[in-house]
A = this chain, B = another copy of it.
């Protein structure tokens, strides 16, 4: 049983999704991961990790849904700190910043249309770090 930890770096834009499924597959391949689980963790309080079918339509639908649930607006957070991203924090707490995917015989067990995405909820470009941590058996 082994623990292997790596980082992905992303340069992000507001309201964008980033498909990191390929980088997770590469993490599996180069470390010969066989069976176990990978925790995908978004460092920050205005971002998130989830799964989605990564295609142009849903990349617009997803932030539009969040704009209805947690619209930009005048939040207590903004009143205090003046940074105008109260809604970004709320969206992060709603979607979540941690995601665990099983690896079975060298593959992450995702559906065909199920990609793992990093979600940028903040209102300005950011430099982001996503942690990939595997616990399990290597080949």
Number of interface residues of A (CB under 8 A): 59
Q: Are A57 and B78 in contact (CB under 8 A)?
A: yes
CA distance A70 to B51 in the complex (A): 16
Bound: A50/B94 CA distance, A: 8
Using known A-B contacts A51-B97, A100-B100, A113-B45, determine if residue A135 contacts B37 with beta carbons closer than 8 Å. yes
A57:B77 contact, CB within 8 angstroms:
yes
CA of A52 to CA of B85, assembled, Å: 13
Set of chain B residues within 8 Å of A52, measured between Cβ atoms: 45, 89, 92-93
- The reply to whether B76 and A61 form a contact with Cβ atoms under 8 Å apart is yes
B36–A37 CB distance below 8 A: no
Please report the C-alpha to C-alpha distance between residue A135 and residue B69 in the assembled complex, in whole angstroms. Answer: 36
Return the CB mask of A16-48 against B: 1 if under 8 Å, else 0. 000000000000000000011101010111000
Q: Is the CB of B109 within 8 A of A90?
A: no
Residue of B nearest to A3 (CB): B35
* Residues in B whose Cβ lies below 8 Å from that of A106: none
Complex Cα–Cα for A133 and B136 (A): 11
Report A's interface with B, CB cutoff 8 A. 1, 3, 5, 35-37, 39, 41, 43-45, 50-53, 55-58, 60-62, 65, 68-70, 75-81, 86, 89-90, 92-102, 104, 109-111, 113-115, 131, 133, 135-137
